[in-house]
């Protein structure tokens, strides 16, 4: 039911994307980050369809371009990220990314480390996602340090769960101390050159979300509502 109302709100907000058009008119770079998890066998087609659409309509960034802030100002930029660690990535994701010539960031827990060379061999970037996917804000200081500092070494870190309760100043300090340059949440929104690099927005959308919702969401029509509720 919640999803139903959410979708209605997104559609209703379609005509109110003034901030989006203003930014694009002012040639300020806009970056969305798509957060995916598993791509199940019955979701492959949906994933391919959305990725092809993104490639036609958005500027799909490599992790390297994201890091170096090589953003387009004519089109919305998008970076693909995958969280946690799934066997289905090897069946359903890597071949499609390869075909579409897209490079992504894979935020993996340490449990998935033994498989990680298959991702890096394909040219993708690993990101830290803590050792054991605990809610970092609820850990004692020494445990927090261990969960972050012993995570995958990378420029990129994604807070486990990613919601507002998944990070605070202490967590962000640890992430900085461990050498990460970027911290990703799952709070939806545009990232731009002013966005705090440790509070980056991501859009957590399953591959099979309806296409019109996907397009409206990435265009920021849901961002306003997310702030209201
Ligand atoms: Zn996760």
Output the pLDDT for position 77.
Answer: 96
pLDDT mean over 105-109: 97
Per-residue three-class SS string for the chain: CHHHHHHHHHHHHHHHCHHHHHHHHCCCCCEEEEEECCCCHHHHHHHHHHHHHHHHHCEECCHHHHHCCCCCCCCCEEEEEEEECCCHHHHHHHHHHHHCCCCCEEEECHHHHHHHHHHHHCCCEEEECCCCCCCHHHCCHHHHHHHHHCCCCCCEEECCCCCHHHCCHHHHHHHHHCCCCEEECCCCCCECCCCCCCCECCEECCCCCCHHHHHHHHCCCCHHHHHHC
Distance 45 CA to ligand 1 centre (A): 23
What CATH number is given to the structural domain containing 119? 3.20.20.370
Task: State residue 17's pLDDT score.
Answer: 67
160 CA distance to ligand 1 centroid (A)? 5
Residue 214 lies in a domain: no
Residue 24 lies in a domain: no
Q: Rounded to the nearest whole angstrom, what is the distance from the C-alpha of residue 26 to the centroid of ligand 1?
A: 35
What is residue 90's predicted lDDT score, i.e. its pLDDT?
Answer: 97
- Give the model's pLDDT for residue 7: 72
Query: Which tens digits make up the pLDDT trace of 119-157?
Result: 999 999 999 999 999 999 999 999 999 999 999 999 999
Q: Is it the case that residue 164 has pLDDT exceeding 70? A: yes
Q: Calculate mean pLDDT across residues 36-54.
A: 97
Cα(152) to ligand 1 centroid in Å equals 13
* pLDDT at 115 exceeding the cut of 80: yes
| Alpha carbon of 70 to ligand 1 centroid (Å) | 27
- Collect residues with CB below 5 Å from ion ligand 1: 83-84, 160
6 part of a folded domain: no
Cross-strand bridge partners of residue 80: 34
Q: Is the pLDDT of residue 16 over 70?
A: no
108 confidence band (pLDDT: 50, 70, 90): very high
How many residues belong to the chain?
A: 229
Expressed in angstroms and rounded, the spacing between residue 112 Cα and the centre of ligand 1 is 12
Domain that holds residue 91: 31-207
Tell me, yes or no, whether 222 lies in a domain: no
Q: What is the pLDDT of residue 8?
A: 73
Centre of ligand 1 to C-alpha 158, Å, is 8
Distance 185 CA to ligand 1 centre (A): 10
Query: How many angstroms separate the CA atoms of 54 and 61, rounded?
Result: 11
Alpha-carbon Rg for the chain in angstroms: 17
User: What average pLDDT does the structure give for the chain?
Assistant: 92
Residue 65 belongs to some domain of the structure = yes
Distance 21 CA to ligand 1 centre (A): 32
Judge whether 94 and 123 are in contact, CB under 8 Å. no
13 within domain boundaries = no
In a domain, 25, yes or no: no
pLDDT in tens, 18-30: 666 776 777 789 9
- Domain for residue 5, yes or no? no
Is the pLDDT reported for residue 221 higher than 90?
no
The domain tally of the chain equals 1
Tell me the CA–centroid distance for residue 36 and ligand 1, in Å. 10
Residue 210, CA atoms < 13 Å, CB-side half-sphere: 10
Distance 16 CA to ligand 1 centre (A): 32
In which residue are the tokens 């927005």 written? 201
Q: How far is the CA of 105 from the centre of ligand 1 (A)?
A: 13
Q: At what angle do helices 211-218 and 2-12 cross, to 10 degrees?
A: 60
- Residue 104, pLDDT above cutoff 70: yes
């Amino acid at each position: 039911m919640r999803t139903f109302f959410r979708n209605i709100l997104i559609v209703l907000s379609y005509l109110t994307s003034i901030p989006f058009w203003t930014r694009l008119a002012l040639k300020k770079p806009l970056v969305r980050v798509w957060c995916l998890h598993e791509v199940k066998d019955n979701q492959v087609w949906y994933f391919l369809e959305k990725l092809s659409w993104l490639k036609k309509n958005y500027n799909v960034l490599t992790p390297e371009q994201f890091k170096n802030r090589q953003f387009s100002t004519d089109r919305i930029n998008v970076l693909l990220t995958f969280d946690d660690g799934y066997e289905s990535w090897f069946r359903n994701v890597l071949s499609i990314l390869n075909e579409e010539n897209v490079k992504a960031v894979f935020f993996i827990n340490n449990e998935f480390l033994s498989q990680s060379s298959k991702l890096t061999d394909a040219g993708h970037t690993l990101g830290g996602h803590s050792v054991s996917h605990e809610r970092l804000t609820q850990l004692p200081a020494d445990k927090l340090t261990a969960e972050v500092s012993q995570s995958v070494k990378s420029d990129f870190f994604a807070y486990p769960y990613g919601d507002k309760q998944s990070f605070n100043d202490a967590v962000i300090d640890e992430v900085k101390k461990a050498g990460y340059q970027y911290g990703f949440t799952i709070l939806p929104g545009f990232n731009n050159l002013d966005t705090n690099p440790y509070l980056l927005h991501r859009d957590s959308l399953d591959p099979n979300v309806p296409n019109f919702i996907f397009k409206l969401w990435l265009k920021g029509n849901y961002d306003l509502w997310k702030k209201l509720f």
